[in-house]
Structure 1
Amino acid sequence: MNARRTVAALAAGLLAVTLAACGSSSDDKPATAAGGTASRADREEARDAAREAAGLPPEPSVTKRYAYLEALDAIDPRISKPGKDDQSVSRGLDQCGSIKTTKDRARLVEMALERFTIDTRLPDIDNEATGGKILDVVHKHLCPDF
């Protein structure tokens, strides 16, 4: 496990403990259409429903997120930029939308290379093999049901 993943895992754990320890007042919650307030669970449910309507899977759990980022690092540690884990997850979830709607593997490989900016940022690994590995990692860890 590399150092940034360890730090990220520790930060995520600390954030979870901090959020659990902190209560929130009704002032912290957004208003709902009926004039009430939405709970955190309601907001997360609404976000997941919107993602599903857009053809995207829900945000991965901490465990799935970690496994996904580690799998990207196993392909090449430069794919997931340091400090940009959220960006890598977002790009992966977007790739899931493409997996759901596109059945042409060659096109999906091209899209993965473009989406993760391999084609412009890392020309030395801009090839079908790398794109296929990224595609497989996204599919396995973020949207196995697609």
Structure 2
Amino acid sequence: MRTHHTVAALTAAAAVLALTGCSSDPKPKTPAAPTTASANPDAARSAAGLPPEPKGAQRAAFLTALNAIDKDIVHGKDDKAISRGIDTCGLYKRFPGDPAKQAEQTNQRWTSPTHPEGHGLATAAKILVVAHTTICPDF
């Protein structure tokens, strides 16, 4: 009886090992080619109706203006502020002629560790003006 159990256990173990070594995809996976969006983020932003990322003096003007309102708006996260600024510009197209909705959305988007619920509607309205004048004046 012991021999029967041993043979059965060895057979089961061999089957598990054989199945573990099998693969339905013998070729190694290669990374996909970059998409247009990852290859050219400004083209993707343009297609989404957003402005290109500000560079140089335009970027500095945007960050300086935000820090002049309140240093906690940027809170040392320049790239994050730039991303939020680009997104803020989209509010002019998503909610045209509705400054109250634009300010509400801006307040929700612009949070910080010390202002997790936003900086308030008055500050949000100032952020909107800064984004509009420095990043997307044509919106």
What is residue 114 of structure 1 aligned with on the other side? 108
Q: Which residue of 1 aligns with 2:127?
A: 134
Q: Percent identity?
A: 47
Specify every segment of 5 or more residues in structure 2 that has no aligned partner in the other structure, as ranges: 1-31
The letter of the residue matching 1:64 is Q
The equivalent position to 1:65 in structure 2, one of 59, 70, 74, is 59
Return the letter of the residue paired with 1:131. Answer: A
TM-score if structure 1 supplies the norm length?
0.63
Any idea what SS the aligned residue of 1:58 has?
coil
**2: CA distance between counterparts of 1:125 and 1:85?**
17
TM-score for the superposition, normalised by structure 2: 0.66
User: Letter of the aligned partner of 1:141 in structure 2?
Assistant: T
Amino acid in the other structure paired with 1:81: H
Query: How big is the shift at 1:110?
Result: 0.9
In 2: Cα distance, 1:134 partner to 1:75 partner: 8
- Residue 92 (structure 1) aligns with: 85
Q: Which residue in 1 is equivalent to 2:50?
A: 56
Q: Which has the larger radius of gyration?
A: 2
Counterpart among 67, 74, 78 of residue 72 in structure 2: 78
| Structure 1 residue runs without a partner (length 5+) | 1-29, 34-42
